[in-house]
Structure 1
Amino acid sequence: MSAMTRPRPRVAAAAAATVAAAALALTGCSSSGSSGGGEGQVGFVTVKGTNLSKADAGKRGDAPDISGDTLEGTPAKLSDYRGKVVVLNVWGSWCGPCRAEAKSLQNVSEKYKDQGVQFLGINTRDTEKQNAVRFEQEQGVTYPSLFDPAGTQLLKFPKGSLNPQSIPTTLIVDRDGKLAARAVGGTTEDALESILQPVVAEQKQ
């Protein structure tokens, strides 16, 4: 009888691992979680009970001037969009949550394109550019994405603002080129708009 009960702890452990993996798939493509350490350096304060963070004007860190070629082969850099609110989305074609949020991002980009908002993707860890291009075609994504397979551009972000292991992550850069808000692990239209709208409205104050 005791011999029959021995495997049970292993079964329970396997089940727990499966549950953990499923939870991870829902929240993001990495086990590293969000970049909680050092948040104060960039002024981010987490919105309670969410994966969203905001930084008040005057407490925001500078966004790095990331640059490179887009998936279409056109040179681009963040500073090209100075004076606009920029929504930066870090994604990969291999990432399930990236696929789940893609249409929401596209919808918000279309809704705000006439309000001084520019979306810019950062495609990472796709060794084959064609996989990333196919992803955009399938999801109907029309805004540009930098091709950054090695994550070189991600490493330019200040500590506490972007964890290169937490994909997808969406950052909002204000009109002065400062990091104003963040969503880690995937987002929805409503969640993204909740942190985008206040930054867009700053121009009208």
Structure 2
Amino acid sequence: MARPRPRVAAAAATAAAAAIVLTGCSSSGSSGSGDGQLGFVAVKNTNMSTAELGKRQDAPDISGETLEGSQVKLSDYRGKVVVLNVWGSWCGPCRGEAKDLQAVSEKYRDQGVQFLGVNTRDTEKANAVRFEQEKGVTFPSIFDPAGTQLLKFPKGSLNPQSIPTTLIIDRDGKIAARAVGGTVEDALESILQPVVAEPKQ
């Protein structure tokens, strides 16, 4: 069998690298089965999906120690919209989206929105802390190197192998939207704004 020409091989490698960036750091860009049961509907031509009011499942009350050493749990923010971002310092797309996440967190801080990270598969906390410092991330992150908190989520809502993943949790603690893979400011706002605009129950 003929070997591919260098230019063709280089183009294929570039396309493969681009696909990895789009889908995230995992071997699977999918969140697994269960979308129907979770009420998720895919947003056409994006890596995002949303769930209508009345069709959402409860988010588990994950908890743990933050990278700064304080204790936090998701229910601390009940009554706020929570943007939950799962990330790792080893993950290229996580590095790519960090500044966009920080920008959106600052923009929506006074609109009842709280950002919370879950740092996973970082064996050394120092690496995660350095990541936050380099990227200017100021919102808290739970240190969850083994992914034990991620396993608490309903099947299909959050695949621990798909990093990064961002979930939008509504004011009642239900999973309203999801972006699998890296996201950018405009895309994140497109699924966050409708949840922020929902009337308080």
Instruction: With the length of structure 1 as denominator, give the TM-score of the two structures.
Output: 0.91
Q: Does 1:8 align with 2:7?
A: no
How far has the Cα of 1:24 moved from its partner? 1.0
Partner of 1:137: 133
Q: CA RMSD in A?
A: 1.9
Q: Does 1:76 align with 2:75?
A: no
**Residue range with higher mean Cα deviation, 184-193 or 35-44:** 35-44
Q: Does 1:181 align with 2:177?
A: yes
Partner of 2:151: 155
Larger Rg: 1
Q: Does 1:192 align with 2:191?
A: no
Contact 2:21-2:182 at 8 Å conserved across structures: no
Contact 1:69-1:75 at 8 Å conserved across structures: yes
Identify unmatched segments of 5+ residues in structure 2. none
Partner of 1:3: none
- TM alignment of 1:25-44, pairs within 5 A: 25-44=21-40
Q: Does 1:114 align with 2:110?
A: yes
How far has the Cα of 1:122 moved from its partner? 0.2
CA distance in 2, matches of 1:26, 1:181: 18
String of CA shifts for 1:46-82, please: whole Å, max 9, x gaps.
0011001000000001100000000001000000000
What secondary structure, in the 3-state scheme, does the structure 2 residue paired with 1:89 have?
Answer: strand
CA distance in 2, matches of 1:120, 1:179: 14
Contact 2:171-2:200 at 8 Å conserved across structures: no
What secondary structure, in the 3-state scheme, does the structure 2 residue paired with 1:203 have?
Answer: coil
Partner of 1:124: 120
CA distance in 1, matches of 2:46, 2:118: 23
- TM alignment of 1:37-116, pairs within 5 A: 37-116=33-112
How far has the Cα of 1:8 moved from its partner? 1.4
CA distance in 1, matches of 2:44, 2:5: 36
CA distance in 2, matches of 1:175, 1:152: 24
Instruction: With the length of structure 2 as denominator, give the TM-score of the two structures.
Output: 0.93
What secondary structure, in the 3-state scheme, does the structure 1 residue paired with 2:199 have?
Answer: helix
- TM alignment of 1:12-27, pairs within 5 A: 16=12, 19-27=15-23
CA distance in 2, matches of 1:16, 1:187: 24
How far has the Cα of 1:7 moved from its partner? 4.5
CA distance in 1, matches of 2:172, 2:38: 14
Contact 1:86-1:118 at 8 Å conserved across structures: yes
Letter in 2 for 1:173: I
CA distance in 2, matches of 1:126, 1:97: 15
How far has the Cα of 1:42 moved from its partner? 1.1
Share of identical aligned residues, percent?
83
CA distance in 1, matches of 2:133, 2:199: 33
CA distance in 1, matches of 2:151, 2:200: 33
